[in-house]
Structure 1
Amino acid sequence: MVTSAQLQILHSSIMSLISTVSSSVTVKLDDSNYLTWNFQIELLIKGHGLMGFVDRSHLCPPRFIMPTFGDSAVSSSDGLSTFESDEFKIWKMHYRALMQLITATLSLSGVSCVIGSTSSYDLRVRLKEQFFIVTRATIFQMKSELQNIKKGIDLISLYLKRIKEARDYVFAAGVQFDDDDIVILTLNGFPSEYNTLRSIIRGRENVISMKDLKS
């Protein structure tokens, strides 16, 4: 007979996530893409209500409880007859499955970094310690590029796309640029033939949005 715990495990979203993770997390974590990877993996896990198993906010339920009639009891360390609860079995399944899920998104260097991890929390801490250090240098570089970006010979659409990508990257790292600052950086990057446009926008009473600037 299928137990309620087995049914919950079979119907859990974690089972389908493991087989489809490559379509949701499109990069394999390596030295160059921690922020992109972390954004995608968190979005996936949070979107399916599973983050509590990773950040340890979903606490492990008691493993053994006293049996009721018809339960298969086992002997605990104190000699009392107990049995493993359904809640613990389900929690343990999610705990291990999330380790499998995250590991499936790693490059070979990422996998070697987490060998020996005992939980999905431990696994993610090791990955951050290993790969986010490399990313800090990239963040500094992206901030510098954003502050000194120039249109050059690019089309306006490509120039604004470069600015958006740089802004999104540093934002994912927790660094925010206000819209006012981004508009100023964008205008500063225009060549001299845009001086009239620059003067008009800077002379506005209200700050223009990036969407309106693009239009």
Structure 2
Amino acid sequence: MASSSSIKIDGLLSMVTICLSDNNFLKWSFQLESVLQGYELFGHFNGSIVYPPKFAILDEEGVTSQVTAAYKEWLKIGKALLSLLIATLSDEALEYVIGTKMT
């Protein structure tokens, strides 16, 4: 998995030259998937990158309320990728995703 320090949304965005509209899903999807696979990030979209445990587990205490660094990093990458995805949508396509939540 790429670290968030290696993710530069501006750089990735410049590689996705097609914005999703009503009639170009296959082209947009192919280009976006290719870029994300090249940076080992597509797993965030297809579920093959499983998120790490949110809370630390200590031998003596069990599950704690301390959020793990790995989870924070995973969440940061996810938000960056969401920003990338939103930036590649046409105005019409954006209307379909406004208000959706990332898990």
TM-score range, shorter chain: 0.7 to 0.9
1:134-173 → structure 2 map (5 Å cutoff): none
Q: Which amino acid aligns with 2:33?
A: E
Instruction: Give the match's secondary structure for 1:109.
Output: helix
TM-score normalised according to structure 1 size: 0.41
CA deviations 1:3-43 (Å, max 9, x no partner) are xxxxx53x23x2x1x11234211121111211111111000
TM-score by length of 2: 0.82
Q: Note the 1:184-203 alignment, pairs <5 A.
A: none
Q: Which runs of 5+ in 2 are unaligned?
A: none
1:50-70, Cα deviation, whole Å (9 max, x unpaired):
111111111121111146xxx
Measured after TM superposition, the shift of residue 94 of structure 1 is: 1.2
**How large is the RMSD of aligned CA atoms in angstroms?**
2.0
Query: What is the deviation of 1:102?
Result: 0.8
- The number of residue pairs the alignment matches comes to 97
CA distance in 2: counterparts of 1:50 and 1:81, whole angstroms: 29
Match of 1:43 in 2: 34
Are residues 1:115 and 2:102 paired?
A: no
Distance, in Å, in 1 between the alignment partners of 2:17 and 2:64 is 48
Structure (1 or 2) with the larger CA radius of gyration: 1
Q: Does 1:25 align with 2:20?
A: no
Q: Which amino acid aligns with 2:80?
A: A
**Sequence identity, in percent?**
34
* Bigger proportion of residues as helix: 1
Partner of 2:89: 106
With over 3 angstroms needed to count, the CA separation of the structure-2 counterparts of 1:34 and 1:62, relative to structure 1, is same
**Off by >4 Å, runs of 4+ in structure 1:** none
Q: Determine helix, strand or coil for the equivalent of 2:21.
A: coil
Query: Which runs of no fewer than 5 residues in structure 1 stay unpaired?
Result: 1-7, 68-79, 121-215
